[in-house]
Amino acid sequence: MQTNHISRENILAVSRELLCQQGWQGLQIRAVATQCKVAVGSIYNYFSSKTELVAATIESVWQEIFRDEKCKPCNTIEYVVWLFSCLEKGACRYPGFFSLHAMGFLEVEKQEGQKRMYATWQHIKEGLHCVMRQDTDIAESAFDETFTVEDCADILFAQMLAALIQQKYDTAAVQEMIRRCLYQK
């Protein structure tokens, strides 16, 4: 086999492509090596195990889904619409990635993959916190000690997760909820 120069990023790009084309069952060390045109051992120079490769691939998929830097949302509604748009594009590119069934690989891989997925989710929530704190259209009375920005972000994030599970990315109801509950009359 001809040896090519590869990198971690190249391996992850190939892994994402295999995931797109073949689903989780296609994400095998041998298949990645074949696609990269390198020996199997070369993959292990970058990833110590299949578990590490799968976890890194999950993380890179989430990063790719939210990489769209064209949108710089300036208010809560725009940010939520942008999030839903990213998720919808991600669901098209990676069919089954968001379903609970897709996370049904080995328990160890599942734990590591979930850990990286949860880190991405926390980043999304922090983005929501930041946008809501800077959104000058939100009524001053919208938040208090019993209903905080973080509480609201949790609700909006739960709506996002529901959209993922149901594969319904219509934001109209969420936009209306934000307008009615948060924005000044």
Show the tokens assigned to 3. Answer: 């040896």
Pairwise CA distance, residues 142 & 131, whole Å: 14
pLDDT at 1: 45
- In whole angstroms, how far apart are CA 68 and each of 57, 104, 156? 18, 28, 20
Pairwise CA distance, residues 117 & 138, whole Å: 30
Show the tokens assigned to 113. Answer: 């993959």
Work out the number of other CB atoms within 10 angstroms of the CB of residue 5. Answer: 8
pLDDT at 153: 93
pLDDT at 152: 94
Name, in order, each residue with C-beta under 8 angstroms of 183's C-beta and a sequence gap of 6 or more.
137, 138, 139
pLDDT at 8: 96
DSSP state of 68: -
Give the sign of the dihedral formed by CA 49, CA 52, CA 54, CA 60: negative
pLDDT at 24: 78
- Catalogue all structural domains in the chain, each as residue range(s) with its CATH number: 8-47 (1.10.10.60), 60-182 (no CATH)
pLDDT at 164: 81
**Global confidence as pTM:** 0.80
Q: Are 6 and 33 in contact (CB under 8 A)?
A: no
pLDDT at 99: 66
Question: What pLDDT tens digit does each residue of the chain (185 aa) get?
Answer: 455 679 999 999 999 999 989 887 888 999 999 999 999 999 999 999 988 898 898 889 888 988 765 556 678 999 999 988 888 888 888 887 776 444 554 454 567 667 777 888 888 899 899 999 999 999 989 999 999 999 999 999 988 888 888 888 888 988 998 999 899 75
